[in-house]
Chains A and B, each alone.
Chain A
Amino acid sequence: MIVGSQKPIEEIWDMVKDSKKVLVFGCNTCIAVCHAGGDKEAETIAMMLRMRASQEGKNIEVKHFSVMRHCEPEYFVPVMEEVKKYDLVLSTACGVGVNFLSERIGDVPVYPGVNTSFYGGVPASGVFTELCGGCGDCVLHLTGGICPIVRCSKSLMNGPCGGTKDGKCEVSDEIDCAWYLIVERMKKLGTLDKLAEIQPPRNWSSSAHGGPRRIVVEHLQELEQKEDNKG
């Protein structure tokens, strides 16, 4: 899932303080799971902004509500007319949601209430860790299912650097060294000798370095057209 955290309220206040009618617009999928921007968090932010406004003697109307996803029109189109009544939307969706909405909402500004950080998992309640960088050319079959692209601080493809110590990365002893994990895992799988193969320089054009990416699933497009024709 996509993981993020709420922006400091001070930064949010700076974004909204000159507006008259503000909607804190929550998103109830990934970003709600990490307690950064679901309905509950949107409600709390709205409350804090109202308090702040009254402290500063500013007359700002702040409301909140949320939808299941900001990244698909079918979820927000039904509430679009309502959303457009505000003069600023503070979206607590991930960056995808903010982008997606911005291009579909006419001249209402959509600002981010969340710092979107990574694709991660939930190893323990309240803990989120980065596990994939969306590089567009997955190599997990070569590395025992552990990602060298984002879990190694240097994205090394051919084994650990000299900085590994006691299984930790040289960047911080709170970060597990991905290559330590890869080696241990491949030993367990009995595939350590596979690591002797040299991985050549990567083609990064499938990642963000190749410019914005787009995937078209043609059979889905066709299916949709057929449905449309029926109707």
Chain B
Amino acid sequence: MKSGSNLEKVILSGQPAVTAELGPPMGADPHEVIKKAQLLRGFCDAANITDCQTAVVRMSSISAAVLALSEGLEPVTQMTCRDRNRIAMQADLLGAAALGLKNCLCLAGDHQKFSAAGKLKGHPGAKNVYDVDTVQLVGILKKMRDEGLQEGGDKLEAAPKFFIGASWTPMGDPIDFRPINLLKKVNAGADFIQTQGIYDIELFRSQMEKIHKMGLHERTAILGGIIVPKSAMMLKYMDSSVAGVSVPKKLIERMNKAKEAAGDDKKKAREFQEAEGIKLTVELIHQVLETPGVKGVHIQAIEWESAIEGIVKAAGLYPRPSV
């Protein structure tokens, strides 16, 4: 056992793992985190606590992760390369380990210009860091854990024992490089991988075949990403604007049908689409889990944490194993 985290134990047990996502609030109120943690607790093996996602200032991942942990939800701390240099990263991660956090997901992070896709002011004029990239950060965490050394070579008095994760965009451009991308993350030391949202299951499977041939599925635990769709509009937006996500037409049509069935009733239209979105999610979960080489799912219900219970139950993934 590398970290002894719940997520690691579930993966080792061979049962399909389930992770979810918790977005910290744009404020200092701990109850926001506690409320979301209570909605997710028991329905996933661990939940990612995002790190200023979409380049917007929110409560820090590590502090929100500690709040979640105290509510009985195992967190996956996120660490982006955008905001910290290797000194700050290592210092924060030593602290995170001391506070009882056991999983860490390494990310490049959205560029500071992103500002929630222009929906918020954000801080587009901020200076970014990018001292190290994701692959290098994974390597730093592994070196700290397995060799008890800092990146610069100094000895650590006590090594932080993280279960190390990285993200992967299997269907991003340039698509023939993406398997090499994963290979590098695995070679650097990624114990688990969470993928970008999958809707095009055929394309995902063809990428996974390559991963299979490379034997990477045996060296890391790949959790397929599922983004719960709320509306036809959201699916269309993701298809046209989110990098590495393509949504097959027939899924968009299904959501459109659900919307149209409500006629002019806007409230119903929302309810029908949400219900269809959950149905669609459950189907995707099954298709992803049936894909050879996949060890679990990472379900993102963005600002819709209350949907997770129903989804996990409907997918037959409840109760979560106690290991």
Q: Which chain A residues have a beta carbon within 8 Å of chain B's beta carbons?
A: 153-167, 170-172, 177, 179-180, 183-184, 187, 192, 195-196, 198-202, 204
Contact = CB atoms under 8 A, between A and B. Distances in A.
Given A162-B172, A165-B243, A184-B174, A196 B111 contact: no
Give the most central of B151, B168, B173, B187: most A CB within 10 Å.
B173
Given A159-B180, A160-B173, A170-B110, A154 B196 contact: no
Interface in B265-309: none
Interface of B: 81-82, 86, 108-111, 113-114, 128, 130-136, 139-140, 151, 167-169, 172-174, 176-177, 180-181, 183-184, 187-188, 196, 243-244
Contact of A198 (B169, B187, B243): B187
A191 to B, nearest CB: 12
B169 A162 contact: yes
Q: Quick one: which of A153, A166, A187, A198 has the most chain B CB within 10 A? A: A198
A162 B135 contact: no
B174 A158 contact: no
Which 5 A-B pairs give the minimum distances between C-beta atoms?
A: A162-B169, A158-B135, A165-B243, A161-B108, A164-B173
A162 B184 contact: no
28 contacts: A153-B111, A154-B81, A155-B130, A156-B108, A156-B133, A158-B184, A159-B177, A159-B180, A162-B108, A162-B168, A163-B108, A163-B110, A163-B111, A164-B244, A165-B244, A166-B173, A167-B174, A183-B174, A183-B176, A184-B174, A192-B177, A192-B180, A196-B184, A199-B135, A199-B136, A200-B136, A201-B136, A204-B131
B177 A183 contact: yes
A21 B191 CA distance: 69
Given A162-B108, A204-B131, A196 B174 contact: no
B184 A159 contact: yes
Contact of A180 (B110, B169, B173, B244): B173
A162 B185 CA distance: 13
B188 A198 contact: yes
Contacts of B81: 154
A166 B128 CA distance: 24
Contact of A162 (B151, B183, B243): B243
A112 B131 CA distance: 31
Given A160-B177, A187-B176, A198-B184, 9 more contacts: A157-B135, A162-B169, A162-B172, A163-B111, A171-B111, A177-B173, A192-B177, A199-B136, A204-B131
